[in-house]
Amino acid sequence: MKGRSNSTKSSACPLSPSALRKARVEPPRHPLVEAPSTAATFDVVTTAQRGNPVVTTKLQPGTAGTGRWRVEIEIAGGSVAPAEPPAVSAKVLSRRSLLRNRVRLLSPSMPDDGSRFAKFPRYLPKEKSFLLRHRDLWYAPTTIFPPDGRGPYYDTRYPWRCLCRVQTAQGSGSGVIIGPRHVLTASHVVDWTPGWATIAVLQQNLTPLDTGNAILAYASARIGPGSIGDSDSDEDYAVLVLDRRLGETYGWFGSRTYDSAWDDETSAWRNVGYPSDRGWGGTTPVYQRDFFLNELAADYGSARLIRSDTFDNWPGQSGGPVFGFWQDGPYVVGVVSGQGSDYNYISGGNLLTSLVSRARTDMP
């Protein structure tokens, strides 16, 4: 464990690592209504005026173990090329409308498919520490607070499989399944132009468990590239509504309002994501645990900006869940928002849980 020693914890705190090992954690379960199969959906455009495309598939040589297939689409009398996924529509809700129906807690769920809940993920062998070089000088990135607590993992059990890689035309970020067809991420990860967003569930080395397209994004603030102002930094989250009900197959996290009584009182927090400096260049899931959180003293409103100098962050982790385990499973209390030389930042608060609730209610 990094950082300070724990003092007496609130009874509402997440389970500590030692308590988690002993506890019988039983998340609620939902019926498995969708067969656990995968589907990659994409559109193509063609200049041909008539005729139907001919589709063939070929297993790539030497990839029988990973199942890498090439899909070939041929049409007579014209060219064919991949098309961009559908544009994401935006639904921006005011603080007032979200607080009118304030929600503080939404339960997690896993499919009732006979699978077991996993308290800890299966680690992969650790990589060498990431260092920068200038002539004879070697130094570590300023946003990593030694020792670096992040390590690669790959685990298809619940809840570790709920991590998502969010890809847009502007770049990529992290997210987590937060409902039957919903993914929670950072608002600044979304392309609000409007653009497209694709979701890859537990992607490793370009191979995900499943994929989907975002069709609608709920947010309380549309945060774009560049600097983020004080009025928006604590609302840096969005809920993507997908064209596929991935949560019914893989399960979803719960969400909970962060309590200021937890400031520096517990280090039982976890994070998963796709940092570009770890996980073999952001291609493999990365997990970290045992860091402290602390709200900014001047930010005790409905939205909360939380900081940490024991949580390690790097581009690509934005939108990843910061969560803890309770007796009934994992709950997100914030999403990774930004980085600095002294602190890294997480957005949370009442608005986060209320936003998730609204998206799940409007688009079940």
DSSP 233-299: HTT--EEEEESS-HHHHH-B-EEE---GGGTTT----EEEE--TTSHHHHTS-EEEE----EE-TT-
Task: List Cα–Cα distances, 234 to 97, 151, 297, 298, in angstroms.
Answer: 17, 27, 13, 12
- Say which residue, 71 or 119, is predicted with more confidence: 119
Answer whether residue 281 shows pLDDT above 80.
no
Strand 171-179 to 163-168 pairing: antiparallel
3-class secondary-structure state, position 359:
helix
The pTM of this model reads 0.85
Domains of the chain and CATH, by start: 45-83 (no CATH), 86-121+152-362 (2.40.10.120)
| Measured distance CA(174)–CA(186) in Å, rounded | 8
| Measured distance CA(188)–CA(328) in Å, rounded | 31
pLDDT tens-digit map of 290-299: 999 998 765 5
Answer whether residue 81 shows pLDDT above 50.
yes
3-class secondary-structure state, position 41:
coil
The pLDDT value given to residue 361: 97
Answer whether residue 108 shows pLDDT above 80.
yes
DSSP 80-113: EEEEPPPPPEEEE--HHHHHHT---EE--BEESS
Range name among 29-33, 265-269, 300-304, 329-333 with the lowest pLDDT average: 300-304
CA-derived radius of gyration, the chain: 21
Using 50, 70 and 90 to split pLDDT, how confident is the model at 289? very high
Q: Are 211 and 240 in contact (CB under 8 A)?
A: no
Look-up: residue for tokens 């997440």?
14
Using 50, 70 and 90 to split pLDDT, how confident is the model at 267? very high
pLDDT tens-digit map of 179-218: 999 999 999 999 999 899 999 999 998 899 999 999 999 9
| Measured distance CA(288)–CA(87) in Å, rounded | 33
| Measured distance CA(50)–CA(349) in Å, rounded | 54
C-beta atoms surrounding 196 within 10 Å: 18
Range name among 119-123, 229-233, 337-341 with the lowest pLDDT average: 229-233
The pLDDT value given to residue 298: 54
pLDDT tens-digit map of 307-336: 999 998 888 999 999 999 999 999 999 999
DSSP 121-136: PPBPPPPPPP-EEETT
Peptide bond into 315 cis (omega under 30): no
The pLDDT value given to residue 128: 61
Angle at 231 between CA 304 and CA 269, to 5 degrees: 25
Mean pLDDT of the chain: 86
The pLDDT value given to residue 182: 98
Answer whether residue 260 shows pLDDT above 70.
yes
| Measured distance CA(240)–CA(212) in Å, rounded | 11
Answer whether residue 76 shows pLDDT above 70.
yes
The pLDDT value given to residue 79: 82
pLDDT tens-digit map of 23-52: 999 999 999 875 556 666 677 888 877 778
Using 50, 70 and 90 to split pLDDT, how confident is the model at 62? low
